[in-house]
Structure 1
Amino acid sequence: MSDLRITAIRTFRVEEFSNVLWVHVETNAGLTGLGETFYGAGAVEAHIHDTLANRLIGQDPLCIEALHKEMLNLPNAQSSTGVEYRACSAIDIALWDLFGKLCNQPVHQMLGGQCFDRIRVYNTCAGTRYVRTNNIKPVDTWNLGQSQGQYEDLDGFMTDAGRLAEDLLSNGIGAMKIWPFDPAAMENKGLYISAEQMKQAIRPFEQIRKAVGDRMEIMVEFHSLWNLPTAKKIARALEPFEPTWFEDVIRMNSPQALAEFAASTDVWTCASETLGSRFAYKEFLDRDAVHVVMADLCWTGGLTEGRKIAAMAETYHRPFAPHDCIGPVGFAAAIHMSFSQPNTLIQESVRAFYKGWYRELVTEVPTIEGGYVYPMEGPGLGTELLPSFFERADLSSRVSEA
């Protein structure tokens, strides 16, 4: 063990992005690690300071595996993406950032080094105000027509998906993710879809294929809103448009039900950023319920658990595709993970975020050009919260220290 010790854990929240929580893990050597998680920021912050801080302060931050185990060695920390896993994720990411800074190497090097020179990205078609709310209920947070930003891609796929596909292709981005079935799911509580609703939701797929043919890959997000029979019905209707994958079509709490869905269609089934820990993923993999393994490192246990999930996916000959639709630090962490894993298929990205509000908060965002993301080169995660972040009028902070 080293002489390095954790001396304080500091958390930060801003009212504008009220679901994002940032964490600083401070040490006696003056090094600070940066982490992040998303959703229920107040509850996660309370868990960090009320439960985890006294387990972590005074410990060696380089004992990442041991600290990860300690953070989850709780009676209510099960295989989910609840408060315990989100808190652990934020701190774990910060510990890897610290490790990289100490060694003066990027996190992907600490995880084993680059497997690729560049990685394909797809554009998740969210808008600029998609997460600027404390409510993340589907459809309610779409903010349609409320902003005139350059990358209002949610408005784009709901109004003229063909033109949006052309614009993405002109920037070298050959894959996009859309979710036009959400309004029907919310209206009907996921129980059924009418013929008219089906026609309305399929229109973006028709527009994309008419405008750009098969030059654009289409991923379909369902946000776990449907029951199984309706999900299968929608899948049959979409198959002629040859989407790349169907993502989270039902609630991710029944491997058997998802396996039935996966067997009913030739389109890949993708799951799921809503799963926490490798143990949950194993249940789905054992039943042939998932073809593409997606994980959000800010929810599923951080980089420590994320690389185990990716490795397990490879043992089942499944590709890995990290999730990102949250904050800038989680995005950086996902990209480091993507470069370090040999089975990474593609990296999720949101151009409305990495060209927009991410730049209001952090010093560096990943380089994305021509439909590819490139490795971040600085030590650790390679990004920090901007000095201006700490001057925000809507900033609040809490600290636990020795």
Structure 2
Amino acid sequence: MSAPKITGLRTIRIAERANILWLEISTDDGLTGLGEAFRGAAAVEAVIHETIAPYLIGRDARAIEPVSRALLHPYVGFGGSSAEVRAASAVDLALWDLAGQRAGVPIHTAMGGACRDRVRAYNTCAGYDYNSRQHAGGHAGRRERQPDEPVAGPYDDQIAFTRDAGALAQSLLSEGFSAMKIWPFDPFASRDGGLTIRLEEIEAGMAPFRAIRAAVGNKMEVMAELHSLWSAPAAERICRALEEVDVFWAEDPIHKMDDCRALADLRRRTRVPICASETLGGKVAFRDLLVADATDIVMLDLTWCGGLTEARKIAALAEAFAKPVAPHDCTGPVTLMASLHLAIHAPTAIFQEVVRATLATWYRDLVTELPRLEGGMVLAPTAPGLGTTLRPEVAHREDAVVRVASR
């Protein structure tokens, strides 16, 4: 039997969700693999069509490792989560989708098998439209919601944690969730760029955490998201305050999450576990993080770190350092499905992040299948490949931009 060759690439993005780009890779055996990129969608689209497509078309679709190595080592753009790395990540997801479909098994089986049939979920308490706009840089586009804004629906959890975090925790418990993530300190970073945080701001930021403990006690694990907004001294002040409520982790606490020495120093100064970092790209950055003993939990984003091929190497590094992993998702539905396959496969995975607001609404409008949640656990996908496809109507929307490359 001849090797299946890549015959074409199609990218799709829509104005309504301007941060997301979908990639479909077609092969001459009639299969189509699906990938996704997040942030700077138009830049990633350009990399795919101008650089990757000429290299990829005509190649063996089964050569996932050689393609990953080639695309993750461009002459420039290989450091961090550049447009080149995000494009390579989308390609890698699509090739794994093809591999699973061709073998008739889910990706977690194709990677070597499942270590569990379900994984614990935590709900990131975002709203329905969080993080879906274009980003000019930094945190532009991820607008902080104001407590007096109208509630968009029953799962407008970002408003909920500012108004009544205790009631939100009770709502999540009623749906089976036993872990949640909030970020009440974020608004205070804009005052001086996160260089300092005042005592009254600490008290205001701590109020939702205390409300959760008062409402549900220890029935709910709570994570603190710090969004890389803070200087090391400010992050230390926040983390020491968080010790009172025994948070499960403080995530991305300092401005530069590749500053392993500063992060390790912070970790020594606080009893709060540090989680790092969705913002890093490639196994070398995670190796440096682990060697520096700068994190307690390894978080990685499959569309920013290099795809599933690189992600499982990062997971293996974490395992070698006795650190658990927790795949990130606050981006798009394909990323979530791919991340779930990693969380089912990786031996030390402890959580899969979800956003119930997006699972209940616009994720459903884009793809054919989404993960199943039961009792606060996300069930392993059972269909071949990723287990989902882009809905055909997405490419035919009035706000869609579609580009095709073929031989």
TM-score interval for Structure 1 and Structure 2 normalised by the shorter chain:
over 0.9
- More divergent stretch after superposition (138-147 vs 264-273): 138-147
Mapping for residues 192-207 of structure 1, pairs under 5 Å: 192-207=196-211
Which residue, 372, 378, 383 being the options, matches 1:367? 372
Once the 2 structures are TM-superposed, how far is the Cα of residue 73 of structure 1 from its aligned partner?
Answer: 2.8
What's the secondary structure of 1:3's corresponding residue? coil
Tell me whether 383-392 or 346-355 shows the greater mean CA deviation. 383-392
Letter in 1 for 2:143: T
Measured in 2, the distance between the counterparts of 1:140 and 1:193 equals 21
Counterpart pick for 1:241 among 236, 239, 245: 245
Which amino acid counterpart does residue 266 of structure 1 have in structure 2?
A: R
Match of 2:334 among 329, 335, 352: 329
Count how many residue pairs are aligned between Structure 1 and Structure 2.
Answer: 402
1:379 equivalent in structure 2? 384
1:20 aligns with 2:25: no
Verify the 8 A CA contact 1:55 1:70 in the aligned structure 2: no
Question: Where do 1:3-402 residues align within 5 Å?
Answer: 3-135=3-135, 137=139, 141-144=143-146, 145-250=149-254, 251-402=256-407
1:298 counterpart SS class: helix
Structure 2: how far apart are the matches of 1:141 and 1:26?
Answer: 37
Q: Return the alpha-carbon distance in structure 2 between the equivalents of residues 266 and 236 of structure 1.
A: 7
Tell me the secondary structure at the aligned position of residue 294 of structure 1: strand
Most deviating of 146-155 and 115-124? 146-155
How many Å apart are 1:138 and its aligned residue?
5.9
SS in 2 for 1:318: coil
> TM-score, normalised on structure 2?
0.96
8 Å contact from structure 2 (residues 258, 289) kept in 1: no
Q: Please tell me whether the aligned partners of residues 23 and 91 of structure 1 are also in contact (alpha carbons under 8 angstroms).
A: yes
Once the two structures are TM-superposed, the CA of residue 77 in structure 1 deviates from its matched residue by 2.9
Task: Tell me how far 1:158 sits from its aligned partner.
Answer: 1.0
1:157 is matched by which residue type in structure 2? Answer: F
The more displaced of 300-309 and 247-256 is 247-256
Q: Distance in 2 between matches of 1:135 and 1:164?
A: 28
Identity %: 48
The answer to whether the Cα contact below 8 Å between 2:134 and 2:141 also exists between their aligned partners in 1 is no
CA deviation after TM superposition for structure 1 residue 146, in Å: 5.0
Residues 1:125 and 1:138: Cα distance change in structure 2 (over 3 Å): farther
Inter-partner Cα distance in structure 1 for 2:33 and 2:245:
45
Looking at structure 2, the residues matched to 138 and 345 of structure 1 have their Cα atoms a distance apart, in angstroms, of 30
Deviation at 1:79, TM superposition (A): 3.2
**Cα displacement string for residues 12-33 of structure 1 (whole angstroms, at most 9, x for unaligned residues):** 0000000000000111111110
**Counterparts of 1:139 and 1:8, CA distance in 2:** 32
Q: Secondary structure at the match of 1:299?
A: helix
Query: Is the 8 Å Cα contact of residues 183 and 225 (structure 2) preserved in structure 1?
Result: yes
Query: CA offset at residue 127 of structure 1?
Result: 0.2
Cα distance in 2 for residues equivalent to 1:361 and 1:139: 21
1:165 aligned partner, one-letter code: A
Give a deviation string over 1:34-83, Cα, whole Å, max 9, x none: 00010000000001111111111110010000011111231213230110
Q: Separation in 1 of the partners of 2:30 and 2:158?
A: 43
Is the Cα contact below 8 Å between 2:367 and 2:389 reproduced in 1? yes
Alignment CA distance shift 1:14-1:218 (3 Å): same
Query: Distance in 2 between the 1:200 and 1:325 partners?
Result: 25
Instruction: Tell me the amino acid that sits aligned with residue 142 of structure 1.
Output: E
Q: Contact conserved, 1:79 with 1:279, CA < 8 A, in 2?
A: no
Note the C-alpha offset of 1:198. Answer: 1.3
Shift of 1:11: 0.3
Name the aligned partner's letter for residue 268 of structure 1: P
Q: In structure 1, how many angstroms separate the alpha carbons of the residues matched to 2:41 and 2:76?
A: 18
Given that residues 129 and 143 in structure 1 are in contact (C-alpha distance below 8 angstroms), is that contact kept between their aligned partners in structure 2? no
> Could you tell me whether the CA contact under 8 Å between 2:130 and 2:142 is conserved in 1?
no
CA distance in 1, matches of 2:304, 2:150: 29
Question: Secondary structure at 1:339's aligned position in 2?
Answer: helix
Q: Give yes or no for contact 2:300–2:326 (8 Å, CA) kept in 1.
A: yes
Structure 2 unaligned runs (5+)? Answer: none
| Counterparts of 1:107 and 1:243, CA distance in 2 | 33
1: CA distance, partners of 2:317 / 2:92: 19
Q: Distance in 1 between matches of 2:140 and 2:47?
A: 26
Q: Give yes or no for contact 2:44–2:84 (8 Å, CA) kept in 1.
A: yes
TM-score for both structures, normalised by structure 1: 0.98
Flag the 1:40–1:399 CA change in 2: closer, same or farther, 3 A.
Answer: same
Distance 1:133 1:143 in 2: 14
The letter for the 1-side match of 2:144 is W
